[in-house]
Amino acid sequence: MSNTNDTVNASGSRIRRWLQRQQLNIVATPNRVDTESNSRLSREAYCLTLHDIHDFELPDEIKKFRKNNNDKDLSIRLHVTFFDFATTSFYGNTYISPEIDLPEEVDDNEDNIWELKQLVYFSSTKNSNKCYAIMEVVGTTFDKSSTSQRDYSLAWSAIPLFNHRNMRDMDEVVHEDLFEEDFEPCRMFAGTPRSLMFYGDKWKSMAPPLSFKKRNACKVMFSMHTCLNILKAQHLLPDDFAFGPKTSVSFKEITV
């Protein structure tokens, strides 16, 4: 029993340290201890395209808030960070997208497609199939009566980074206008992605499904490509620093 408690306490401590670092926008990359640590490649740059989410439904609490408040008091953003299953560690910074439009309310029988069209750039020396991008849908509410703000984790997905069929496409790709067949689906879950620290290899069966009518169908469509233009600025960016097209990057932000 004590071994289990020690493991949980150690993981909890690692989560707290990572959260402190990501709030300061510090890139923290763990040391790899598996056999792939000896297979590091030269640095390459990538663009992760988050195209849309299919069959997503806002939680009842958010629906109620939306009904009783102005739309401007409810905002939705995507949080993207990286997770290495070999070390059970989050790494890099946390990219927070600009505010995205709320999904339209549709009938249960319709295929609800929530457009994201978000681009996330980064460079890395990794190419392990154990490295994932963790995309979290975060809702923020502002209560005028109490002047309080709350953040909700609405859903999340663990997106495999380095086994996309077109990842090694070295042509000049227009990431904003990809073909529909270029995208792959990835299942979405409920709760918080921080739980990945405790799930281990059984995370797909342990992560709670979305408690919606279409929970088995909810998925994010994504694509992953190399992005040669980013390499021109690689001297300004550390490895595994995620950023968007409108991210303002300063030397203070990227100093580690």
State pLDDT tens for residues 196-225. Answer: 999 988 899 999 888 666 555 789 999 988
Q: Looking at per-residue confidence, does 103 or 170 come out higher?
A: 103
Whether 142 contacts 164, CB under 8 Å: no
pLDDT at residue 110 tops 50: yes
Q: Residue 130 has what pLDDT?
A: 93
Backbone angles phi, psi at 219, to 5 degrees: -155, 155
pLDDT band at 36 (very low <50, low <70, confident <90, very high): very low
Side chain identity, residue 7: T
DSSP of 85-132: TTTTEEEEEEEEPPPBPPPPP--TTS--EEEEEEEEEEEES---TTEE
**Using alpha carbons only, what angle is made at residue 7 by residues 91 and 191, rounded to the nearest 5 degrees?**
60
Whether 28 contacts 92, CB under 8 Å: yes
Looking only at the bridges linking them, the beta strands covering 89-96 and 184-187 are unpaired
Cβ-based burial of 17 (10 A; exposed 0-12, middle 13-18, buried ≥19): exposed
Q: Looking at per-residue confidence, does 173 or 256 come out higher?
A: 173
Tell me how crowded residue 161 is: count the other CB atoms within 10 A of its CB.
23
Residues 123-142: b if buried by 16+ CB within 10 A, e if exposed: bbebbbebbbbbbbbbbebb
Q: Residue 165 has what pLDDT?
A: 65
pLDDT at residue 251 tops 60: no
Q: In the chain, how many domains are there?
A: 1
208: CB partners within 8 A, 6+ apart:
189, 190, 191
| Mean pLDDT, residues 103-130 | 83
| Mean pLDDT, residues 152-177 | 76
| Mean pLDDT, residues 26-32 | 51
Whether 146 contacts 72, CB under 8 Å: no
Q: pLDDT exceeding 70 applies to what percent of the chain?
A: 69
Whether 133 contacts 91, CB under 8 Å: no
Question: Residue 82's domain is classified under what CATH number?
Answer: 2.60.40.150
Residue 210, domain extent: 2-254
Side chain identity, residue 175: H
pLDDT at residue 70 tops 90: no
pLDDT at residue 5 tops 60: no
Q: Residue 176 has what pLDDT?
A: 66
Q: Looking at per-residue confidence, does 109 or 132 come out higher?
A: 132
Half-sphere exposure (Cβ direction) of 89: Cα atoms closer than 13 Å: 19
List the beta bridge partners of residue 54: 113, 219
pTM of the predicted structure, to 2 decimals? 0.78
DSSP of 165-195: TTTT--S---GGG--GGG-EEEE-BSS-GGG
